[in-house]
């Protein structure tokens, strides 16, 4: 089973992103920073915040779904706000997306907020709402189950250091996992955590037996050349000892975001 976790960056490198996803052909695709605009046909749009303008794919969720026709898609919104196409206003949703190959059965799942709550009228105040999605899959090929979770951790303008909100976020994530994971099978937890490797987040997750594959393999960079700031950690993938790893890679090329994709093949 191939699992890929990636912060999609709102689809800013759209063509490269779609091509990579088709080529990599994951069984489970965990995406952060995804937009969806129901009942509308928009390509590029602009996100505006505090004098900053960022190009975004307003229907990225549907575009990824079209690239993976053999998958079921789950969209998990955190907020609903305005994008712009010239002077036209586009009301879009922002959040997580999970795509699962249809040959695998989703036998349990949970979705909840790990920070804040749904913002229905605007993107929300910083640090903005964040959620996590947890699924339990049955593999018919191997007659086995695995639980997979991904999260987009809160962004604090002050940086990625530990805060009370981040500690509460990690505790909320554990509670969510325990609603689905039975404890006696493989568990994979991944995403853009927005924390540093010494964060108490990892000590809290270690209580479930989880250890990180990024730092555990001595890797020091999960960002691409499009990320120009200091601090190259953001994305992590953690597993319990019962996960049989065939391959783990922090993908350097192609660059499809300002984050690198995390790719895990398990047996």
Q: How far apart are CA 203 and CA 59, in angstroms?
A: 37
Bridge partners of 223? 259
* 3-state secondary structure at position 2: strand
Query: Residue 38: what pLDDT?
Result: 86
Question: How many other CB atoms are found less than 10 A from the CB of residue 59?
Answer: 23
Question: Quick one: which of 45, 37, 39 has its CA closest to 12?
Answer: 45
What does the block give as tokens for 243? Answer: 């996960």
Q: Is 246 exposed, middle or buried (0-12, 13-18, 19+ CB in 10 A)?
A: exposed
Residue 222 near residue 260, CB atoms below 8 Å:
yes
Helix axis angle for 14-24 and 60-67, nearest 10°, is 30
State residue 153's pLDDT score.
98
- According to DSSP, the β-strands at 2-7 and 28-36 are parallel
Nearest to 223 by CA among 181, 133, 160: 160
Left if phi > 0, otherwise alpha if psi is -120 to 50, otherwise beta: which for 20? alpha
Residue extents of the structural domains in the chain: 2-266
Which CATH number is 2-266's, of 3.60.10.10, 3.40.50.2000, 3.20.20.70, 3.20.20.140?
A: 3.60.10.10
For residue 125, the model assigns a pLDDT of 86
Q: Are strands 211-212 and 235-239 parallel, antiparallel or unpaired?
A: antiparallel
Q: What is the pLDDT of residue 235?
A: 98
* pLDDT of amino acid 248: 98
pLDDT, residue 17, reads 98
pLDDT tens figures, 54-97: 999 999 999 999 999 999 999 999 999 999 998 889 999 999 99
Q: Is 254 exposed, middle or buried (0-12, 13-18, 19+ CB in 10 A)?
A: middle
Residues of the chain with pLDDT under 50: none
With vertex at residue 197, the alpha carbon angle to CA 196 and CA 203, rounded to the nearest 5 degrees, is 110
pLDDT of res. 121: 94
At 230 the pLDDT is: 87
| Residue for token pair 């994530």 | 173
153-167 pLDDT tens trace: 999 989 999 999 999
């Amino acid at each position: 089973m191939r699992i890929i976790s990636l912060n999609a960056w709102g689809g800013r490198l759209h063509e490269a992103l779609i091509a990579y996803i088709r080529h990599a052909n994951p069984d489970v695709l965990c995406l952060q920073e995804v937009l969806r605009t129901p009942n509308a046909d928009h390509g590029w749009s602009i996100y505006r915040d505090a004098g900053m303008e960022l190009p975004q794919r307003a229907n990225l969720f549907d575009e990824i779904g079209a690239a993976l026709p053999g998958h079921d898609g789950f969209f998990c919104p955190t907020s609903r706000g305005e994008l712009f196409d010239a002077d036209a206003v586009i009301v879009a949703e922002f959040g997580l997306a999970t795509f699962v190959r249809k040959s695998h059965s989703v036998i349990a799942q949970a979705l909840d907020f790990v920070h804040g709550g749904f913002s229905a009228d605007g993107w929300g105040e910083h640090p903005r709402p964040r959620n996590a999605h947890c699924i339990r899959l049955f593999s018919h090929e191997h007659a086995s189950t695995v639980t997979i979770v991904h999260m987009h951790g809160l962004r604090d303008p002050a940086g990625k250091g530990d805060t009370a909100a981040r500690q509460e976020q990690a505790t909320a994530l554990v509670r969510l996992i325990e609603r689905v994971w039975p404890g006696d099978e493989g568990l994979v937890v991944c995403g853009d955590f927005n924390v540093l490797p010494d964060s108490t987040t990892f000590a809290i997750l270690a209580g479930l037996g989880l250890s990180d594959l990024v730092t555990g393999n001595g890797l020091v960079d999960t960002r691409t050349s499009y990320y120009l700031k200091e601090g190259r950690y953001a994305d992590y993938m953690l597993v319990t000892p019962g996960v049989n790893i065939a391959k783990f890679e922090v993908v350097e090329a192609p660059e499809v975001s300002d984050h690198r994709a995390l790719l895990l093949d398990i047996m």
